[in-house]
């Protein structure tokens, strides 16, 4: 896990990965630090609900 106060530059291309991100009530909230590399980042979230429904979501953010 990267620290928000690290002195080393952060050049990761994969910012976060977790294969199980639910709480006991089926909700999730994800927090992660972005890379120090400027650019446009695409977030893709994929999952399967308890009843087998495939779920997909995405968003884009920019690091300047």
Is residue 13 in a domain? yes
By the 8 A CB rule, do 11 and 36 touch? yes
Is residue 48 in a domain? yes
Is residue 22 in a domain? yes
Reported pTM: 0.63
pLDDT at 53 (0 to 100): 93
By the 8 A CB rule, do 55 and 46 touch? yes
Report residues of the chain scoring pLDDT below 70: 1-6
* Number of domains into which the chain is organized: 1
Is residue 2 in a domain? no
Is residue 1 in a domain? no
Whole-number percent of the chain with pLDDT over 70: 91
Q: Count of alpha carbons within 13 Å of 3, Cβ hemisphere only?
A: 4
Is residue 42 in a domain? yes
Domain boundaries, position 27? 7-63
């Amino acid at each position: 896990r990267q620290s928000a106060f690290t002195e080393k530059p952060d050049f990761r291309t994969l910012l976060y990965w977790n294969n199980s991100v639910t709480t006991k009530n089926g909700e999730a909230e994800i927090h992660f630090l972005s890379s120090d590399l400027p650019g446009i980042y695409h977030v893709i979230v994929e999952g399967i609900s308890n009843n087998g429904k495939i779920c997909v979501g995405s968003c884009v953010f920019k690091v300047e």
